[in-house]
Structure 1
């Protein structure tokens, strides 16, 4: 969080000695002209931005299921892919934004029978630009420090999508998706932690999932559409 402070200006009055034949004593120096400092001016930081190219490694955490598995999140040319590890772990899935199309494919999930093999779900139209436009509406929560093997100074943002009426209290309104996004204070396109909450988390009893990043760079990653997923339309 950046703040600007108005600085006070200090002017010192210099007193010249009076004439030598002046019987009156020299006048006392006037009080210094001090301009008090004004209140701090708050400047809201830039909102989160998902870059076109990136690669990161971290952990995917579903606390109510006791799951904490390795994960990767990568982007290339505006496409992106998140994968929560593989067959040797209790959770294995991949989510993609591929050629303006979102996909989700769950290979393994605690308590969900693996057979028959689950299909790859293709859901409407969505891309990086739409996501970044949504992130521009996020609300700034405040600066924080994520404590871990390496403490990171982050800005915490809250973003949400609400269905129904836009007038609270008048008609039915319901949350479709919420997210808490934690980005680097010096670079809002560097993501360190996200809490997902909402109807998109259909397999999680508590409807909330975390991913935390231990590395994040702006190098092009690898995005691969699984064979089970239909091509974009």
Structure 2
């Protein structure tokens, strides 16, 4: 989820939400030939190797456990982050009681939830209620949207260990579906990085748009240092109403 806001959604008054997913890293480098690919070392033209076949788009598995960091650069925030999935449900949690931010987002029984406990300069006393995002939403709908993502290219995320990833971009636009017919407006934009050999192995996500209304620069991102496909624990907070479907 919907760490994967993977996909945060948005709600009125700037609710923390999971909608689209995206990935970016500080200090990434672009490589014209990447080991492990059948076309490594091949002749390149127009930014892609000759004979290049576009890889499979990102896919969120039904069961997974991911951990890493949630980062809001303009606020100087860098806190622990987890993203857990079980049987198609999923839950993101950033920060905690001892950190400057603390929120959780869920896809739970075909319903989207977001609950913000702490956020810098936002009064949350009394505590903000759990927001239920209207409409039916689940992992399948998210994966169907990811199928429309555009392939940006293969990249290397440089750090303690270089990670070979595929970079994808996915967006959500409101208004008319016919450009120029009626006003249209961007709702969310995401850059998603997944492992080159496994599109279900999520690495990082950058999120930008109306779903980030608590952030002055409207962008937040998370990076995952671990990600495996073992079932995680997904728990609906007591303050959130049970799903109706």
TM over 0.5: yes
Separation in 1, partners of 2:38, 2:128 = 51
Label 1:173 to 1:225 Cα distance change in 2 as closer, same or farther (>3 A). same
Note if contact 1:55-1:217 (Cα within 8 Å) is conserved in structure 2. Answer: yes
Which of 95, 117, 132 matches 2:105? 95
Which of 221, 225, 228 matches 1:217? 228
Separation in 1, partners of 2:159, 2:99 = 23
What does residue 156 of structure 1 align with? 167
**Aligned ranges 1:1-233 → 2 under 5 Å:** 40-124=50-134, 125-233=136-244
Note if contact 1:3-1:42 (Cα within 8 Å) is conserved in structure 2. Answer: no
Aligned length, in residue pairs: 201
Q: Which has the larger radius of gyration?
A: 1
Which stretches of structure 1, 4 residues or longer, exceed 4 Å deviation after superposition? 1-5
Separation in 1, partners of 2:89, 2:181 = 39
Note if contact 1:139-1:159 (Cα within 8 Å) is conserved in structure 2. Answer: yes
TM-score (structure 1 length as normaliser): 0.82
Gaps of 5+ in 2: 1-33, 43-48
* Higher normalized contact order (CA 8 Å, seq sep 6+, divided by chain length): 2
Note if contact 1:145-1:151 (Cα within 8 Å) is conserved in structure 2. Answer: yes
* Deviation for aligned residue 1:167: 3.4
* Deviation for aligned residue 1:151: 1.4
Deviations 1:36-73 (A, max 9, x none): xxx82120000000000000110000111111001100
Gaps of 5+ in 1: 8-38
* Deviation for aligned residue 1:92: 0.3
Separation in 2, partners of 1:133, 1:65 = 33
Q: Which secondary structure state, in structure 2, belongs to the residue aligned with residue 200 of structure 1?
A: helix
* Deviation for aligned residue 1:164: 1.7
RMSD of aligned residue pairs (Cα, Å): 1.7
Deviations 1:80-139 (A, max 9, x none): 000002110000000000000010000000111120111000002210000000000000
Separation in 1, partners of 2:232, 2:55 = 27
Separation in 2, partners of 1:114, 1:86 = 14
Q: Which secondary structure state, in structure 1, belongs to the residue aligned with residue 141 of structure 2?
A: helix
